[in-house]
Amino acid sequence: MGHDTLLRQDAMPRREPVTVEERLFREMGAGGYSRQDHRMEYIVRVNALLRPDMRVMEFGAGRGKWSHDPVPLRRQLGDFRGRCAHVTACDVDEAVLGNETADAVELVGHDGLLPFPDASFDLISAFSVLEHIETPERTAEELGRILAPGGWLCAWTPNRWGYVGIGARLIPKRLHARVLRMVEPRRVEIDSFVPLYTMNTEAARKRLFPTDRFEHFTYAFDGQPFYHGENIVLGKFWELLFRLTPGPLKGYHMVFIRKR
């Protein structure tokens, strides 16, 4: 490398951290994500399970949340097309009809019934979905029915007994949207749904997916703070709290369940 090249590189302006996350996690300047990124933690592990012959369903896929991800690597890992046999996007929201990251889309009702034959899928991915389930018993029965033997149900969801789960239940439903705008101003409004937390404890999921028919590999994870209202002091408070929080009270669950 020549002296002129070095001078040009030294002269290039270096972008200073702007968001609270960037100030807390300097490594975000190298790739756009932090070592505590819950989205990356989830999607990397799903990709570790993915095989070329798999039939995949994105449960609660909406408009294609990974296709709008600002981090190129997460966007790439979240698009399963071409790396598995077939991808179906499924949701109760009509937004799924505009989903362009699947080979097929399916609009379903709120009753929990899924219009697919038994053992239709080898992997079901549900990112930020289980906390919104209205009919947990029927939904769990249907997910188990359409999952092939040896198949995986993968989900990221808040822990009912973590800070997000407790906070959401304490806040009146009519105020949810307003509070979210305050503590997470960069959140896209279309992605805001009222949580119900019917499937958000390990005990509930083991009841809904009995251990004689399903193996459970779930673990707790806190991720990076993002309910901070763009305030660095509040962001540092959450980061410290996460470090001190014991496993059963951590904010989120990485849910990985395999059908026997």
**Amino acid 108: pLDDT:** 96
Domains of the chain: 32-259 (3.40.50.150)
Q: How many CB atoms lie within 10 A of CB 192?
A: 13
Question: pLDDT band for position 166 (50/70/90)?
Answer: confident
Find the mean pLDDT for residues 159-163: 87
Question: pLDDT band for position 16 (50/70/90)?
Answer: low
| CB contact at 8 A, 240 and 228 | no
pLDDT over 90 percentage in the chain:
64
| CB contact at 8 A, 199 and 157 | yes
Say how many CA atoms lie within 13 Å of 94 toward its Cβ. 0
Rounded Cα gap, residues 154 and 41, in angstroms: 12
| Stated pTM of the model | 0.84
Q: Tokens at residue 212, please?
A: 């004689």
DSSP string, 74-122: HHHHT--TTSSSEEEEEESSGGGGG--SSSEEEE--TT----S-TT-EE
Question: pLDDT band for position 237 (50/70/90)?
Answer: confident
Residue whose pair of structure tokens reads 């949580």 in the numeric block: 195
Q: Which amino acid is at 167?
A: G
* Alpha-carbon dihedral angle through residues 137, 123, 256, 176, given to the nearest 10 degrees: -60
Question: pLDDT band for position 10 (50/70/90)?
Answer: very low
Residue 221 φ then ψ, to 5° = -155, 140
Rounded Cα gap, residues 132 and 176, in angstroms: 14
Rounded Cα gap, residues 81 and 158, in angstroms: 27
SS3 251: coil
Say how many CA atoms lie within 13 Å of 152 toward its Cβ. 21
Burial class (CB in 10 A: 0-12, 13-18, 19+), 121: buried
Find the mean pLDDT for residues 82-100: 96
SS3 126: strand
Highest mean pLDDT among 6-15, 177-186, 222-231: 222-231
